[in-house]
Amino acid sequence: MTLTLDAIRECLEGSVPSTIATCAQDGTPNVTYVSQVDYVDPQHVALSFQFFNKTRENILANPQATAVVAHPESAATYRLFLRYLRTESDGVLFQRMKAKLAGIASHSGMAGVFKLRGADIYRVLRIEAIPGPAVTTAGPRRNLLAALRATCARLNACGDLAALFDETLAALEEQFGIRHAMMLMLDEKQQRLYTVASRGYPASGVGSEIALGHGVIGVAAEHGAPIRIAHMTSEYAYGRTQRETTAAAGLADQLQREIPFPGLPEAHSQLAVPVLAAGRLAGVLYVESPEDRRYTYDDEDAMVAFAAQLGTSMQLLRQAEDAEDPAREPAAPQASAGAAVTVRRYVADDSVFIDDDYLIKGVAGAILWKLLSDHLRSGRADFTNRELRLDPSLHLPDVADNLEARLILLARRLAERCDFMAIEKTGRGRFRLKVGRPLKLVDMARPTAA
């Protein structure tokens, strides 16, 4: 049977360093270690190009090369016969390798030394198993196909987007054993992602944001490709995210507007997978682990297939929300009691504070402000998604507005931060605002340092 690259992908995780042999024009052989032999597709691998050296000189003159790779558990080794095609120094593949190399470098004490200059793409002409003893391996820890099947069935049974997000994360834990995960949605206008659901953290972090291009989540979103790292690396860590992004935005005195990102303090394995709905980036599914090498190529495949199902489900539920349920009986007038609460809205970023506590900003903040204003003016409590879509004060994009996701975000922030206000879904495309205390609304023209 002919060996395929897919069958030996575990050898391409970068755990065991590989060697590459090349040959100069005059016939002189050269052999060296290479940090990464990465799987591109069933016919191609990419080797990390980090230093200008003899290998580079040789492949440019004579594209024939052989690489030897070893399985990190069985020690089985394989010889790959390769032909150099080209070098990519930007784009999806480059970004994927750069992230992976950062993990490898940091794990092997070479952070700052290993720097990816390019991804050298080779066609795999032939693979040879090198005869020799091998260690018996335990096999995969679970059947990923079975997990994927069960997970997709669970998604199909979800009736609304909030349930879909929660079911996604519950299924990841129960079917895949992934205990730390979150779902982030894209805010196209702000070029940021915001967390709408998380699982496995002391604080949910709902509402926390990641800039496009920042860390594995931001890079996955920016390039529309899964990004996976097998070892802890400061280069892609989220520890200082909030402070840095705030400082960059020139708002260093307003840290209280940031919701801390919920991620693990020391994520060793990270995998971020873009979620597309109707062909557009809708968000990112992110999973992490305190273990090294927790996610393999197979896990990545499973997550990508799962994310495809998730994106389709999101799109179908979004369309279902557009078809509004008939209006129900209006809510009975709500009794509000207790001391009046001051709600401030800062126009500059639509941030909303309840007394002095930061709640939310951006589109979700603008939505809350509109609801509260209407409520105070007319006593209204029932609203429709459609009227929000048509309201110019919310500045929603014409397409892919993710309104439902923003309402989920708002409802969850209220549930976490405020015990006298809530947003409840009352049907497809309809929801109700509940307010239990007298409110005083104060519109702030400009943000000021607290």
Partner 1 sequence: MESSAAAASPLSAVQAQFIQGGVAMVVASSSAQRLPSQARAVGCSVSSDRRRVTMLLRRSQCAALLEDIARSRALAVVFCQPSTHRTLQIKARDAVAQPPASVDAAALSRQADGFHRELAPLGYSAEWTRALLGYAPDDLVAVSFTPLEIFSQTPGPRAGERVA
Rule CB under 8 A: which residues touch partner 1? 17, 19, 21-23, 25, 27-33, 35, 50-54, 62, 64-66, 68, 70, 73-75, 77, 79, 81, 108-110, 113-114, 130-135, 292
- Residue placing its CB nearer to partner 1 in the complex, 19 or 245: 19
- Residue placing its CB nearer to partner 1 in the complex, 25 or 378: 25
Cα angle, residue 449 at apex, residues 411 and 240 outer, rounded to 5°: 65
* Cβ at position 104, least distance to partner 1 in Å: 11
- Residue placing its CB nearer to partner 1 in the complex, 58 or 241: 58
* Cβ at position 208, least distance to partner 1 in Å: 33
Query: Rounded to an integer, what distance in angstroms lies between the CA atom of residue 410 and that of residue 131?
Result: 60
- Residue placing its CB nearer to partner 1 in the complex, 295 or 431: 295
Query: Rounded to an integer, what distance in angstroms lies between the CA atom of residue 257 and that of residue 310?
Result: 30
Q: Which residues contact 332 (CB under 8 A, 6 or more apart)?
A: none
- Residue placing its CB nearer to partner 1 in the complex, 23 or 170: 23
* Cβ at position 95, least distance to partner 1 in Å: 21
Are the CB atoms for 87 and 93 separated by under 8 Å? no
Q: Which residue type occupies 399?
A: V
* Cβ at position 55, least distance to partner 1 in Å: 9
* Cβ at position 76, least distance to partner 1 in Å: 8
Q: Which residues contact 229 (CB under 8 A, 6 or more apart)?
A: 99, 100, 102, 103, 216, 236, 269, 270, 271
- Residue placing its CB nearer to partner 1 in the complex, 113 or 255: 113
φ, ψ for residue 130 (rounded to 5)?
A: -90, 120
Residues in the chain, total = 450
* Cβ at position 30, least distance to partner 1 in Å: 5
Alpha helices of 77-142 — where are they, by DSSP H? 92-107
Are the CB atoms for 423 and 381 separated by under 8 Å? no
